[in-house]
């Protein structure tokens, strides 16, 4: 019987590339979308700066690596990087559209957390009671 790839203990590292094309939505980290009553960063900042974005398409490539083994309790995941291409259409001048994009990127909490890592804390509850999960480092 063949061991499934995800359970093969001889595989020590796996690189994963995720690609997505998103059209007609607001970039949030340029990877996902966020909406506030139907409006997100680009729409909100565009409105504030009086800049119209008539079409938006985002292509995202995110790279990850997984090392270790689930069966040996040594699994480790890491993000290697992200590449984005944002395509916009607007009747407004390029310098005005660039200002909207700069503000949207600087105002994105997730993008900023990736660019300037922040502490992350967590807790686990099992049946509403604390569960001690020690992660060796």
pLDDT digits (tens, 9 = 90+) for 41-63: 566 788 888 898 888 887 888 89
Q: Look at residue 6 in the predicted model and tell me its pLDDT.
A: 63
Q: Look at residue 136 in the predicted model and tell me its pLDDT.
A: 59
Count up the domains in the chain and report the number: 1
- 136, part of any domain: no
Q: Which range of residues forms the domain containing residue 23?
A: 5-131
Q: Look at residue 65 in the predicted model and tell me its pLDDT.
A: 92
Q: Look at residue 30 in the predicted model and tell me its pLDDT.
A: 36
- 17, part of any domain: yes
Residues in the chain where the model's pLDDT stays below 50: 25-39
- 75, part of any domain: yes
CA 104, CA 108: separation in Å to the nearest integer?
A: 6
Beta bridge partners of 81: 63
Strands (E), 30-75: 32-33, 55-67
Question: Residue 103 belongs to a domain with what CATH number?
Answer: 3.30.300.20
Q: Look at residue 42 in the predicted model and tell me its pLDDT.
A: 64
């Amino acid at each position: 019987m063949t061991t499934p790839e995800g359970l093969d203990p001889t595989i020590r590292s796996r690189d994963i590339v995720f690609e997505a094309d998103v059209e007609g939505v607001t970039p949030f980290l340029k990877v996902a979308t966020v909406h506030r009553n139907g409006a997100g960063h680009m729409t909100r900042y565009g409105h504030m700066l009086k800049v119209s974005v008539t079409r938006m398409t985002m292509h995202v490539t995110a790279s990850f690596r997984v090392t270790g083994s689930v069966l040996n309790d040594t699994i480790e995941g890491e993000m290697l990087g992200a590449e984005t291409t944002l395509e916009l259409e607007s009747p407004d001048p390029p310098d005005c559209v660039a200002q909207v994009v700069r503000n949207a990127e600087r105002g994105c909490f997730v993008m900023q957390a990736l660019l300037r890592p922040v502490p992350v804390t967590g807790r686990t509850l099992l049946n509403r009671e604390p569960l001690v999960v020690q992660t060796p480092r």
